[in-house]
Structure 1
Amino acid sequence: MSMMDKLKQMLKGHPEQTGKGIDKAGDFVDGKTGGKYKGQVDSVQDKMRDQYGGGSGGGGGKGEDRPSH
């Protein structure tokens, strides 16, 4: 089993932590890029939530609780 397969299994088993991690990763990218790719980052976050769970309970879908840049 590859490392990616193991990560995918871990993500699917813990939706709340997954949602928080997705939000944190998106915030990190937005911070590093100055929010230049915010729309694309939000789109990827939504797709990851759909695929791995996490819903919007992890801290905000569509960048609701993110500071504007």
Structure 2
Amino acid sequence: MGLLDSLKAKLAPAKDKVADLAQQHGEKIDHGLDKAAKLVDEKTKGKYSDKIQSGTGKAKGAIDRMGHKDDGTPGSGGATPPPAA
């Protein structure tokens, strides 16, 4: 068993726990990401708005993918773009 296989085996329970939490609290996480993005955008006076929106969208997509178990449905896990500020 290689190092990566050993590491994956040890992290599997944590991955399952994170997936369960993402599934249960996905909307709260999305709301928190939106609040954080808005705050950072205000603090930077809109200078990095495109980067912030891109990062927020990617983070939401990752949370969405984590929250959906492999149920075999194609196209699940798409990111919703953040609202315009």
TM-score scaled by length of structure 1: 0.64
Structure 2: gaps spanning 5 or more residues: 1-13, 68-78
Q: Which has the higher contact order (CA 8 A, sep 6+)?
A: 1
RMSD: 2.5
Q: Which amino acid aligns with 2:39?
A: F
* Bigger radius of gyration among the two: 2
Q: What residue is the counterpart of 1:19 in the other structure?
A: 30
Equivalences, count: 55
State how far apart, in whole Å, the 1-side matches of 2:30 and 2:59 are: 9
| TM-score after normalising by structure 2 | 0.54
Where does the alignment leave 5 or more consecutive residues of structure 1 unmatched? none
Correspondence 1:62 to 2:77: no
Identity of aligned residues (%): 33
